[in-house]
Amino acid sequence: MKSLIAYYSRRGENLVNGSVQRLTVGNTELIAAVLQKFTDADCFLIEPCEAYPEDYYQCIDQARQDLQRNVRPKLKKYPESISPYDVIYLGYPNYWGTMPMAVFSFLERFDFTGKTVKPFCTHDGGGMGHSERDLKCVCPTAHIAPGLSIHGAEFKYELSSIEDWVRETESTPLKKQTTGGNNL
């Protein structure tokens, strides 16, 4: 069974426990890195040609406008095909209750028939929002597995939940485990 981790994440200013901080690695990116340690999955970064502003307030403004206009940002690149993959781990931050529009651009490019999509979402209190419902609309022929939502600021306390969640679909033993004192 072959898996792909496809994720969107943004470095730069973000709200962490109520104050604006500059993140050098995005929260979703951190989870994607953990998933890669557990699995043999290939990894793909969903990256729009035009990144959102580094400034937190400008970023949330622009993301809200993009959602209202239902835009599909052009991506820098796409995987050639998703045919080799049985499972797609799809990672994204909760943006205004759903996925960033760049994730919609990615999803609409491919036919997910017969694929299992496992969404993982980082957030600041809103959980997965309505992203799972939206995902089902965009990929109606995929099997959408139960999602994993992680509070961005709590990431390091959630390693065992991430591991349990991955174990639900991976038929082969995990490459690395949090139990037994391994530090991820």
Ligand X SMILES: Cc1cc2nc3c(=O)[nH]c(=O)nc-3n(C[C@H](O)[C@H](O)[C@H](O)COP(=O)(O)O)c2cc1C
Of the two residues 45 and 177, which places its CB atom closer to ligand X in the complex? 45
CA-CA distance, 132 to 137, in Å (whole number)? Answer: 9
Task: Rule CB under 6 A: say whether 124 interacts with ligand X.
Answer: yes
Q: Binding marks (x or -) toward ligand X, 2..41, rule CB under 6 A?
A: -------xx---x--------x--xxxx------------
Are 48 and 76 in contact by the 8 Å Cβ rule? The answer is yes
Of the two residues 126 and 147, which places its CB atom closer to ligand X in the complex? 126
Task: Rule CB under 6 A: say whether 125 interacts with ligand X.
Answer: yes
- 37 membership: H or E segment, kind and range: helix 27-38
170 phi-psi bin (left φ>0, alpha ψ -120 to 50, beta other):
beta
Are 158 and 121 in contact by the 8 Å Cβ rule? The answer is no
Task: Rule CB under 6 A: say whether 60 interacts with ligand X.
Answer: yes
Binding site residues, ligand X, CB under 6 A: 9-10, 14, 23, 26-29, 59-60, 63, 93-97, 122-126, 152
